[in-house]
């Protein structure tokens, strides 16, 4: 199967945008890999190629880590218009990949659209099950913390996150020259009832995220909730640019890419 080359033939290409939900359990992250364990991107691209009948180059809005879920991941790719049936593509891919991966919406868009570079912000949700007993219904999508958490303190700990900052203390540095400056638009905690259980949901929106940034923030704020760290110390942890001052990285399965704004 050869890659469809929009510049290699007489027919114009169609730029396709799809909103995708997936259970990240069992996948080694999103990024397409030629070798190794299955990834969401590789599995999704394979199904799209099977339905279209030609290879594609898949771009995503956010390359989620191993075990991380998504409700509103966005991907884009070019398709041969002579082989593209939007409704057939959605039905075919969902039939092949259900229930772990699902295309929620698919449409043809302007050729200038790029799932990654056209995005203005990403919204993530992290779910904590905060009660004495675990829940088999939430085990795959939440972090069970059995000790009571001080929600008021955790909310105060969100304040220093808002705005543009260097998040070196709260993420994994990919290389010595990489910039870790990001602009956080909103960060908040909400209390919800899920499957009859008490859950705390951390919502954070930013123009972009560093590797393990959300999970590092959650781990640090849980330390605040447990009284190991004071809410007023979060700003100092960020200013130190020292990863050792932050909390442990929260488990991946509590994290979900909820929405991408364009």
What would the pLDDT profile of 22-76 be if each residue is shown by its tens digit?
A: 999 999 999 988 788 999 999 999 999 999 999 999 999 999 999 999 999 999 9
pLDDT, tens digit, 9 for 90 and up, residues 77-114: 999 999 999 999 999 999 999 999 999 999 999 999 99
- Per-residue pLDDT at 10: 43
Distance CA 27, CA 112 (A): 30
Instruction: Supply angle C-alpha 251, 252, 256, rounded to 5.
Output: 130
| Residue closest to 224 by CA, chosen among 150, 128, 161, 144 | 150
Is the pTM here over 0.85, yes or no? yes
Q: Is 60 exceeded by the pLDDT of residue 8?
A: no
Q: Is 80 exceeded by the pLDDT of residue 228?
A: yes
Domains (range + CATH), the chain = 14-109 (3.30.70.580), 121-261 (3.30.70.660)
Distance CA 18, CA 16 (A): 7
| Cβ neighbours for 169, distance < 8 A, ≥ 6 positions apart | 237, 238, 240, 241, 242, 243, 245, 246
Report, as an integer, the average pLDDT of 182-200.
93
- Judge whether 3 and 56 are in contact, CB under 8 Å: yes
Classify residue 111 as left (phi > 0), alpha (psi -120 to 50) or beta.
alpha
Percent of the chain predicted with pLDDT > 70: 96
- Per-residue pLDDT at 5: 63
pLDDT, tens digit, 9 for 90 and up, residues 123-137: 999 999 999 999 999
Distance of CA 29 to the CA centre of its chain: 10
CB contact burial 187-196 (16+ within 10 A = b; e otherwise):
bebeeeeeee
Residues with active-site annotation: 65
């Amino acid at each position: 199967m050869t890659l469809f080359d929009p510049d290699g033939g007489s027919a114009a290409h169609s730029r396709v945008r799809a909103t995708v939900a997936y259970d990240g359990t069992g996948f080694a992250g999103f990024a397409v890999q030629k070798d190794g364990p299955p990834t969401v991107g590789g599995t999704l691209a394979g199904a799209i190629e099977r339905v279209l009948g030609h290879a594609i180059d898949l771009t995503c809005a956010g390359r989620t880590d191993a075990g991380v879920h998504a409700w509103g991941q966005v991907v884009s790719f070019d398709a041969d218009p002579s082989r593209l049936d939007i409704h057939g593509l959605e039905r075919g891919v969902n039939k092949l990949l259900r229930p772990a991966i699902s295309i929620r919406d698919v449409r043809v868009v302007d050729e200038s659209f790029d799932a990654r570079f056209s995005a203005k912000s990403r919204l993530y949700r992290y779910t904590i099950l905060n009660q004495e007993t675990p829940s088999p219904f939430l085990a795959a999508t939440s972090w069970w913390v059995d000790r009571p958490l001080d929600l008021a303190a955790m909310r105060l700990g969100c304040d220093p996150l808002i705005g543009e900052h260097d998040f070196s203390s709260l993420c994994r540095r990919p290389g010595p020259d990489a910039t870790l400056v990001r602009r956080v638009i909103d960060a908040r905690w909400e209390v919800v009832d899920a499957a009859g259980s008490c859950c705390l949901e951390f919502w954070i929106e930013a123009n972009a995220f560093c590797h393990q940034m959300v999970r590092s923030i959650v781990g640090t704020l849980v330390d605040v909730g447990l009284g190991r760290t004071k809410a007023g110390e979060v700003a100092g942890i960020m200013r130190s640019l020292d990863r050792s001052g932050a909390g442990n990285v929260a488990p991946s399965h509590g994290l979900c890419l909820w929405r991408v704004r364009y």
